[in-house]
Amino acid sequence: MRIVCPKESLAEGIGIVQKAVSSKSTLPILEGILLEAYDSKFKLTGNDLEIGIECFVDADIREEGSVVLNSKTFGDIVRRLPDSEVFIEVKGDNLVIIECANSHFEIKGLSATGFPALPAIKQENSFKISQKLLRDMIRQTIFSISLDENRPILTGSLIECNEGTVTMVSMDVFRLALRKSTLSEEVNDFSVVVPGKTLNEISKILQPVDDEITVYTSTNQILFDMGNCKIVSRLLEGKYLNYKSIIRHDAETRIRVNVKSLLSSIERASLVASADNKHPVKFDIKDDKMIITSNTEIGAAREELNVETTGKELQIGFNPRYLIDALKVIDDEEAEITFITNLLPCTIKPVEGDDFIYVIGAVKI
């Protein structure tokens, strides 16, 4: 194999596929990146058997071929090369020559024969969505994914297509995050659960642009196709919890509040609170005022906010981190928060519509 490509493009491609490279594996080949030159294309592939990423890089193909290079070594070399054309040549016994300007490297590669191919996806269901919207949907829900491996189904996010709407849901035992959007075309109804690790890596690759990405699913795999980059991941097995039963639409108390103001107040109050629920922040809602307080052995904090209140007066406590996580990702200027009792979760949603819903469990005070 002999190819020439711009250093910047090569470094970008390596950075993308490295997200699917195993850092520690009993199989050395899984710690590598597969380089393939064929049909005037140069492709990089990473695959840790849970998530696989392939990326095409602009290159001048002088001779076709393939090789596997250690991801860390290859990436470190390329990132430190001068900003110029990079020449890569594979000689006998998988010896790889890398040259750029006055830099010259010779590193030992592995045969591409043993590199695991990305699974072929039987495209049973699919939908198209803009990169920006998908990235936002992941950002606005992924923080609620459970880290408890004893409930593996909750370590992923539910992606559900139903009646022309795509919905993403993440939840653990303390909270739920939901984001939905209307699709531009009719698609089959389906639902899958995608590992949180996969979505986290995808969110780093997606760009805030309107370019479309196509998502394909099969029985146990999902494919995110961006054209020059494809990401394949296994799906989590099992049935996701009935999230709709957790979302309550009745309320004894409703408030309308400025999101940034509430976030800032909770962040300040939490400076003297603890994250273990022993010292939650307390809301005291009365007469279009919300008093936010925190009292601990460290000290005390008090914040006062103007809100639009409907319904009963209420005192209720929350773990501040769960509220902060949700409020940080809301792009709307204002939101509505509904309460049922001081022992039941609150619900945060838009003033109009239902594009997002956050359910946060209350803490006894």
The answer to whether position 120 is within a domain reads: no
Q: pTM of the predicted model, to two decimals? A: 0.92
The answer to whether position 365 is within a domain reads: no
DSSP string, 279-312: S-EEEEEETTEEEEEEE-SS-EEEEEEE-EEEE-
The reported pLDDT for the residue numbered 119 is 87
Cβ–Cβ < 8 Å for 292, 281: yes
Do 92 and 144 lie in a common domain? Answer: no
CA-CA distance, 301 to 212, in Å (whole number)?
47
Q: In what order do the strands lie in the sheet with 314-318?
A: 300-306, 289-295, 281-286, 314-318
With CA atoms as reference, report the closest residue to 29 among 72, 68, 76: 68
CA-CA distance, 179 to 152, in Å (whole number)?
21
Do 151 and 232 lie in a common domain? Answer: yes
The reported pLDDT for the residue numbered 27 is 87
Do 234 and 275 lie in a common domain? Answer: no
The answer to whether position 119 is within a domain reads: no
The reported pLDDT for the residue numbered 30 is 94
Do 61 and 137 lie in a common domain? Answer: no
> Which residues are CB-contacts of 215 (< 8 A; sequence separation ≥ 6)?
126, 127, 128, 129, 134, 159, 222, 223, 224, 225
Cβ–Cβ < 8 Å for 81, 8: no
Do 87 and 16 lie in a common domain? Answer: yes
Do 170 and 271 lie in a common domain? Answer: no
Would you give per-residue pLDDT tens digits along the chain (365 residues)?
999 999 999 999 999 999 999 888 788 899 999 999 999 999 999 999 999 999 999 999 999 999 999 999 999 999 999 999 999 999 999 999 999 999 999 999 999 999 999 988 887 899 999 999 999 999 999 999 999 988 999 999 999 999 999 999 999 999 999 999 999 888 999 999 999 999 999 999 999 999 999 999 988 999 999 999 999 999 999 999 999 999 999 999 999 999 999 999 999 999 887 655 568 999 999 999 999 999 988 899 999 999 999 999 999 999 999 999 999 999 999 999 999 999 999 999 999 999 999 999 999 88
The answer to whether position 192 is within a domain reads: yes
Do 286 and 355 lie in a common domain? Answer: yes
- Listed residues 114, 149, 180: the one ending a domain: 114
- Listed residues 65, 83, 114: the one ending a domain: 114
Domain that holds residue 255: 247-360
Do 273 and 329 lie in a common domain? Answer: yes
The Cα-based distances of 185 to 163, 166, 182, 210, 227 in angstroms read 10, 11, 9, 16, 19
Do 235 and 266 lie in a common domain? Answer: no
Rounded to a whole number of angstroms, the CA Rg of the chain reads: 25
Indicate the helix (H) or strand (E) that contains 248. none
Do 234 and 288 lie in a common domain? Answer: no
The reported pLDDT for the residue numbered 23 is 82
Strands (E), 122-251: 125-130, 156-162, 165-171, 175-182, 190-195, 212-217, 221-225, 229-234
Do 253 and 315 lie in a common domain? Answer: yes
The number of folded domains in the chain is 3
With CA atoms as reference, report the closest residue to 191 among 172, 215, 217, 214: 217
The answer to whether position 337 is within a domain reads: yes
Indicate the helix (H) or strand (E) that contains 110. none
- Listed residues 243, 264, 287: the one ending a domain: 243
DSSP string, 328-346: HT--SSEEEEEES-TTSPE
The reported pLDDT for the residue numbered 209 is 93
The reported pLDDT for the residue numbered 241 is 94
Do 134 and 219 lie in a common domain? Answer: yes
* CA angle in degrees (0–180, nearest 5) for 219-29-66: 90
The reported pLDDT for the residue numbered 274 is 65
Which CATH number characterizes residue 238's domain? 3.10.150.10
The answer to whether position 306 is within a domain reads: yes
